[in-house]
Structure 1
Amino acid sequence: MREFSLPALYEVPADGNLTDLIRRNAALHPAAAVISRKRNGRWEDVTAAAFLDEVQDAAKGLIAAGIRPGDRIGLMSRTRYEWTLLDFAVWSAGAVTVPVYETSSPEQIAWILGDSGTVACLAESDAHLAAIESVRDRLPALGRVWQIERGAVEQLRAKGAGVPDTEVAERGRIATADSPATIVYTSGTTGRPKGCVLTHRNFFAECGNIVERLRPLFRTGHSSVLLFLPLAHVFGRLVEVASVLAPIRLGHVADVKNLTDELASFRPTMVLGVPRVFEKVYNAARAKAQADGKGKIFDKAADTAIAYSRALDTAGGPSMGLRLKHKVFDRLVYGKLRAVLGGRATHAISGGAPLGERLGHFYRGIGFTVLEGYGLTESCAATAFNPWDRQKIGTVGQPLPGSVVRIADDGEVLLHGEHVFTGYWNNPAATAEALSDGWFHTGDIGTLDEDGYLAITGRKKEIIVTAGGKNVAPAVIEDRIRAHALVAECMVVGDGRPFVGALVTLDEEFLPRWIADHGKPAGATVAELRTDPDLLVAVQRAVDDGNAAVSKAESVRKFRILPVQFTEDSGHLTPSLKLKRNVVAKDFADEIEAIYTS
């Protein structure tokens, strides 16, 4: 057993709640632009004083509508300004926010709103409203549903016009640090989602210590972040609350299809995202360079960036020759890549899935450091992250200050601290299984080095045991294979089988470019190409790269290219883009069988 901890850098308030933050900002920085919102194609700043007024007006409307302290209020929307506004309004009314992914099915909506006992809901669009109404007969506690795109904020302001300021002030003080702030339902990779109860204390401990440990990235009056993660996911909420706590300027993006344009117009100083975002930026840049006949230059630039970053971790640092090459490529390539990410950002925080060591070195090498972290809904997002001044690429960093990470005798990662959730809503059996003597059992397998840096090597329940008795953690090889531009998703199989195999799906954005470059018929589908020799060779290269990270017994011997995608709509991915392995294994049982019989 091994454990590591760091002293807390932020003192969690003895009582009080998250609404104290917006009142503090309005008092100390009334004219500061704490949030920017997009209107008519332009970013408009919202001052701390104006944001407080808007929040309190919406909270008055909720109070006038009969919302009582402790009531659960659903919030189903894409990432937009109103999400953050209404989140703080719910808290200011003394209630509890229950996020619902805007892509959720009626069945999922019925479960989340029903299990949590939601009494009212805020929904973004006609489609969201229709989905909620389609299951209303299964939601006896649900009352009013307001629609954001049809004036929910304005309706609440009008309804609450007669509520005195003193009443909303009293409501805002009802919740204590240990009161529930939100119930966030887990992605449900292995069954029905469980509602994680996160308190105001959890968010204070989480966001306060992150902001203090990364203070150079959270500079009031200078720093800014563009939030494009779903706010129904706890990582998105971390960004929201940490930005308000710091405070720094926060922007929202609902449509990630235009993310590069939004980054260019907002120009954040910091980016927070998931590895797939950084993979796509790299793959798109490489594909464009190849299309322009500059593929070899890009590849040399990428190799130089990686070598330069690796050399930064050595005693002597980069050689003079490497520095000169790096300087040349900075003018030719790296500066353009930084411009795609907004032009001002020097750092990013990545979570939700492993980033991959090669990609981490590439980005640091181009002057854009991606700090990888690790966390779960139950740990209120990040429970470990790389510090800005002592990054160790290939790890998920050191524990959150004020918390403890322990590695159990069987390799499981255990967590302790004020950021750890209090339990699952209405599920004492699951709570008792996950929490023992104050320690949360993550289900992840990991290691701690001598400096307290954590590396995640797999999931306890996802360990594959081959017929030969070899234990295989899928995450390592899957992440390496998935890093290839041509690969969208990869799932390793082989439990009880003679060797390890893999199911692979192809990237829909990159495939047409590969088809054109290799002289295949325009418009050819994956189903038509999945046995094409050239395509098999290309995917084999990705598999070979993955195999290089593991032993021979753990390596993928055979793979099958699937003619479809793993998506949330198909039921194979959770809203946070994690594989539902049991569903994939069931739906593609014939493909798995073909790996071992062909």
Structure 2
Amino acid sequence: MPTAPPVGGLADAVFEHARTEPHRAALSRKDAAGRWREVTSLEFRDEVLALARGLLAEGVRFGDRVALMARTRYEWTLFDFALWTVGAQSVPVYPTSSADQVHWMLHDAGVTACVVEHEDHAMTVGSVVDRLPRLQRLWQLDAGAVAALVAAGERVDEEVVHRHRRAVTPESVATVIYTSGTTGRPKGCVLTHGHFMFEADTLVGRWQEVFGARPGEEASTLLFLPLAHVFGRMVEVAAVRRRVRLGHQPALTASALLPDLASFRPTFVLAVPHVFEKLYAAARRRAETEGRAAPFDRAVEVAVAYAEAQEHKAFGLGPGPSAALRLQHQFFEKVVYAKVREALGGRVRHAMSGGSAMSRRLGLFFAGAGVTVYEGYGLTESASAATANPPGRVKYGTVGPPVPGTSVRIAEDGEVWLRGPHVFSGYLGDPEATAAVLRDGALATGDLGSLDADGYLTITGRKKEILVTSSGKSVSPMALEERVCAHPLVAQCLVVGNDRPFVAALVTVDPEAVAHWLALRDRPEPPPAELVRDPELEAEIRRAVVSANTAVSQAESIRTFRILARPFSEEHGLLTPSLKLKRRAIEAAYAREIAALYR
């Protein structure tokens, strides 16, 4: 069973790599002209050391908490490892956080210093600084924070930094990550260096096919997940420890991400299902525009059938793809599948997905197109992945068996319980909340799930999200919502019905998909208020609802729905930063629309 290293901390890897492979490309960052430039292990070590000296010069001490509020960028990783070098604790803050959220996290964590990306963030912190008596320093990345700190650190001897680094142990706290939370105030999850080292080393050891490289290639990944989320932080740590060249991309929009994937050309990516859904939808829209929708759809069917046959063979349930299927698959390789891979940079053959559920069909399609997506499951409280599909035995539509060293059991009420060295020690300053989720050393996740005969976990919903209609019928909304969202025009779906006579839904549509759908019909795009009442659009959404209803009983089915004029957004407080629905907030914001569904 894997165990956390007995000594040292996360920053030690930076110094060890500089000693053993000083000229290896450890990271890449964009220069002023937008070109990727390599940063060697030695250069990164020197930057971390210089910044660590600056932090000490400016009063940051062992055990202090320092907030980081920025998008995913090179400097975040630089600050993380500099803080860990001196034994300080980073407190990530989503860059979209409101002033109230910023105040709560910085006050609750007792941060003494804060790093922000730009002036808007500085103003957000400044608006609440009078209520943060412990906050002594505020540094702004876009105003030369790194250079200023490096200059300040010139008066600090390097040996002082190394004394701090040698004092860090696996039991030392590395970070306090606040849960984004679909309800209530965020809680600070206390995670140690040992938690991250165990998790990163376990994932890299078991998933060598993902984190490794083929002969003649160097392993590399472009990190575009938010570093304020535990999944992004784990990618950062694993890449540095595994000697994977790491790049950063701050935007998740297709217009920003796709060009950087093409220029960076990673060998693997780690993403949320939303990214894969967008890639698939963009590929299909392009095929439709070029008049090749029918061949594309046939290629999808072949990819799904091919991957499913491979899956059956892996589990001893079949002989694998037939000769005829292999021939069809080979035909579509150059005209469809290679182009899908090209959108990811051309070298990606493996990917990992987490954060929310990926549909079985989408996972099969990407596998059939030559990109195996290993879906996993975890929480901030488990330092990222607790389960994940293993190489060679991927069961699409599940989140896989427990990662090595972890155990999973299903409680009597269907709740998923986890045990393992990566499970957190508790919520910062909140023993009551800690006791509610840590039961005899096991983490009660709040998620509902089931284990199949092979030990693979399937998540079926959230305990707090179960709806109970006025007739007493319990309904898990997640499965219905996922099936409605499978329609290419649907962006989001929120199922409602608690204490109501039947189940209904609020549906939002994807603006890009709708624009494409209208263009194919030579129709102008009407104002949103008119679009949501469009009979053709309503008929399309009704088909999605009817299809979703076939998977549940009549009592659980969606009887009626309402199309909304705009998608739920994080900006309006209706999504978490990891794009999960904030159910209570949505139901409050659209109370009138929900009430109208039951008239």
TM-score in terms of structure 2 length: 0.96
Confirm or deny that 1:448 pairs with 2:451. yes
Report Cα offsets for 1:222-244 as digits up to 9, x if no partner. 21110000000101001000101
CA offset at residue 156 of structure 1? 1.0
| Among candidates 166, 170, 175, match of residue 173 of structure 1 | 166
Count of matched residue positions in the alignment of Structure 1 and Structure 2: 588
Shifted more, 290-299 versus 58-67: the winner is: 290-299
1:202-351 equivalent positions in 2, closer than 5 A: 202-219=195-212, 222-257=218-253, 258-314=256-312, 315-351=318-354
CA offset at residue 325 of structure 1? 1.3
- Looking at structure 2, the residues matched to 347 and 445 of structure 1 have their Cα atoms a distance apart, in angstroms, of 28
Report Cα offsets for 1:484-537 as digits up to 9, x if no partner. 2211111111112222111001112211112222343x2313311212110011
Partner in structure 2 of residue 192 of structure 1 = 185
Partner in structure 1 of residue 84 of structure 2 = 91
Contact 2:210-2:351 at 8 Å conserved across structures: no
- Looking at structure 2, the residues matched to 391 and 525 of structure 1 have their Cα atoms a distance apart, in angstroms, of 44
Contact 2:410-2:450 at 8 Å conserved across structures: yes
Letter in 1 for 2:152: K
CA offset at residue 140 of structure 1? 0.7
Confirm or deny that 1:18 pairs with 2:10. yes
Letter in 2 for 1:346: R
Partner in structure 2 of residue 4 of structure 1 = none
Give secondary structure in 1 for the equivalent of 2:154: coil
Confirm or deny that 1:526 pairs with 2:519. no
- Looking at structure 2, the residues matched to 480 and 525 of structure 1 have their Cα atoms a distance apart, in angstroms, of 27
Report Cα offsets for 1:367-415 as digits up to 9, x if no partner. 1111111111111111111112211101101112111111111110001
Give secondary structure in 1 for the equivalent of 2:270: strand
CA offset at residue 551 of structure 1? 3.0
Partner in structure 1 of residue 62 of structure 2 = 69
Letter in 1 for 2:177: V
| Among candidates 406, 411, 414, match of residue 409 of structure 2 | 406
| Among candidates 23, 26, 29, match of residue 34 of structure 1 | 26
| Among candidates 442, 445, 460, match of residue 439 of structure 1 | 442
Confirm or deny that 1:382 pairs with 2:385. yes
Partner in structure 1 of residue 130 of structure 2 = 137
Contact 2:179-2:188 at 8 Å conserved across structures: yes
Letter in 1 for 2:443: F
CA offset at residue 99 of structure 1? 0.5
Report Cα offsets for 1:131-188 as digits up to 9, x if no partner. 1111111111111111111111111110000111110001112222111100000012
Give secondary structure in 2 for the equivalent of 1:565: coil
Relative contact order, CA 8 A, sep 6+: which one is greater? 1
Partner in structure 2 of residue 427 of structure 1 = 430
| Structure 2: 5+ residue stretches without partners | 313-317
Contact 1:385-1:398 at 8 Å conserved across structures: yes
Report Cα offsets for 1:67-103 as digits up to 9, x if no partner. 1110000111110111100110111121100001111
Contact 2:3-2:421 at 8 Å conserved across structures: no
| Among candidates 394, 405, 415, match of residue 391 of structure 1 | 394
Give secondary structure in 2 for the equivalent of 1:424: coil
- Looking at structure 2, the residues matched to 588 and 530 of structure 1 have their Cα atoms a distance apart, in angstroms, of 15
- Looking at structure 2, the residues matched to 226 and 549 of structure 1 have their Cα atoms a distance apart, in angstroms, of 37
| Among candidates 339, 352, 355, match of residue 355 of structure 2 | 352
Shifted more, 462-471 versus 237-246: the winner is: 462-471
Give secondary structure in 1 for the equivalent of 2:155: coil
Contact 1:218-1:247 at 8 Å conserved across structures: no
Q: 1:69 to 1:547 in 2, by over 3 A?
A: same
| Among candidates 554, 559, 563, match of residue 557 of structure 1 | 559
Contact 2:4-2:195 at 8 Å conserved across structures: no
CA offset at residue 326 of structure 1? 1.1
Letter in 2 for 1:499: F
Confirm or deny that 1:509 pairs with 2:512. yes
- Looking at structure 2, the residues matched to 384 and 548 of structure 1 have their Cα atoms a distance apart, in angstroms, of 29
- Looking at structure 2, the residues matched to 228 and 384 of structure 1 have their Cα atoms a distance apart, in angstroms, of 22
Partner in structure 2 of residue 3 of structure 1 = none
- Looking at structure 2, the residues matched to 32 and 219 of structure 1 have their Cα atoms a distance apart, in angstroms, of 15
Confirm or deny that 1:112 pairs with 2:108. no
CA offset at residue 553 of structure 1? 2.7
CA offset at residue 549 of structure 1? 3.1
CA offset at residue 483 of structure 1? 2.5
Contact 2:9-2:168 at 8 Å conserved across structures: yes
Letter in 2 for 1:342: G
- Looking at structure 1, the residues matched to 62 and 180 of structure 2 have their Cα atoms a distance apart, in angstroms, of 27
CA offset at residue 27 of structure 1? 2.0
CA offset at residue 22 of structure 1? 1.0
Give secondary structure in 1 for the equivalent of 2:347: coil
Partner in structure 2 of residue 488 of structure 1 = 491
- Looking at structure 1, the residues matched to 550 and 367 of structure 2 have their Cα atoms a distance apart, in angstroms, of 23
Report Cα offsets for 1:404-452 as digits up to 9, x if no partner. 1111111100011110111111111101111111011100000111221
Letter in 2 for 1:263: L
- Looking at structure 2, the residues matched to 142 and 395 of structure 1 have their Cα atoms a distance apart, in angstroms, of 44
- Looking at structure 1, the residues matched to 224 and 497 of structure 2 have their Cα atoms a distance apart, in angstroms, of 36
Contact 1:264-1:343 at 8 Å conserved across structures: yes
Contact 1:380-1:421 at 8 Å conserved across structures: yes
Contact 1:279-1:483 at 8 Å conserved across structures: no
CA offset at residue 359 of structure 1? 0.5
Percentage identity across paired residues of the two chains: 53
Shifted more, 305-314 versus 196-205: the winner is: 305-314
- Looking at structure 2, the residues matched to 405 and 177 of structure 1 have their Cα atoms a distance apart, in angstroms, of 24
Contact 2:5-2:198 at 8 Å conserved across structures: no
Letter in 2 for 1:530: V
- Looking at structure 1, the residues matched to 486 and 274 of structure 2 have their Cα atoms a distance apart, in angstroms, of 9
Shifted more, 209-218 versus 553-562: the winner is: 553-562
- Looking at structure 1, the residues matched to 549 and 245 of structure 2 have their Cα atoms a distance apart, in angstroms, of 43
Letter in 2 for 1:313: E
Give secondary structure in 2 for the equivalent of 1:510: helix
- Looking at structure 1, the residues matched to 496 and 322 of structure 2 have their Cα atoms a distance apart, in angstroms, of 43
Contact 1:206-1:400 at 8 Å conserved across structures: no
Shifted more, 109-118 versus 303-312: the winner is: 303-312
Moved over 3 A (4+): none
- Looking at structure 1, the residues matched to 468 and 110 of structure 2 have their Cα atoms a distance apart, in angstroms, of 41
- Looking at structure 2, the residues matched to 354 and 500 of structure 1 have their Cα atoms a distance apart, in angstroms, of 22
